[in-house]
Amino acid sequence: MNLESEDRSRGINLELKDEEKDHIRAVFFDDIAPKLTKLHARIGTISCEFAGNQYRKWIIQFNSRGSDFEILSFEYDEDAGSIDLDL
């Protein structure tokens, strides 16, 4: 049994719906991007737990684009963990 079929048998969906991606993007740009700007972040990977506990195993890869950010990809990661950006 491969990882994908094993995760499906445990009820884990390895694909996000467009509505879920839109929700994660909205929270990222409203809440997370300003914190990343204060930290002078330019590129990185971050857990999507900021958008809700159900997304804690999802990560996004982002980079800066001018004075803003763009999300490059969404990926499921069983070992994902969040960090506190309120330093």
Long-range contacts of 82-86 (CB under 8 A, 24+ apart): 82/46, 82/47, 82/49, 82/50, 82/56, 83/46, 83/47, 85/32, 85/35, 85/36, 85/39, 86/35
> Which structural domain, as residue segments, surrounds residue 71?
17-76
Is 33 domain-assigned? yes
Is 4 domain-assigned? no
Give 58-87 pLDDT, tens digit per residue. Answer: 999 999 988 899 999 999 999 887 777 765
Which pLDDT belongs to residue 14?
Answer: 85
Both tokens of residue 65? 């684009």
Which pLDDT belongs to residue 28?
Answer: 96
Structural domains in the chain (count): 1
Torsion sign over Cα 43, 32, 71, 64: negative
pLDDT over 70 (residue 1):
no
Give 31-59 pLDDT, tens digit per residue. Answer: 999 999 999 999 999 999 999 999 999 99
Is 1 domain-assigned? no
Is 8 domain-assigned? no
Give the Cα separation of 24 and 49 in Å (integer): 9
Is 85 domain-assigned? no
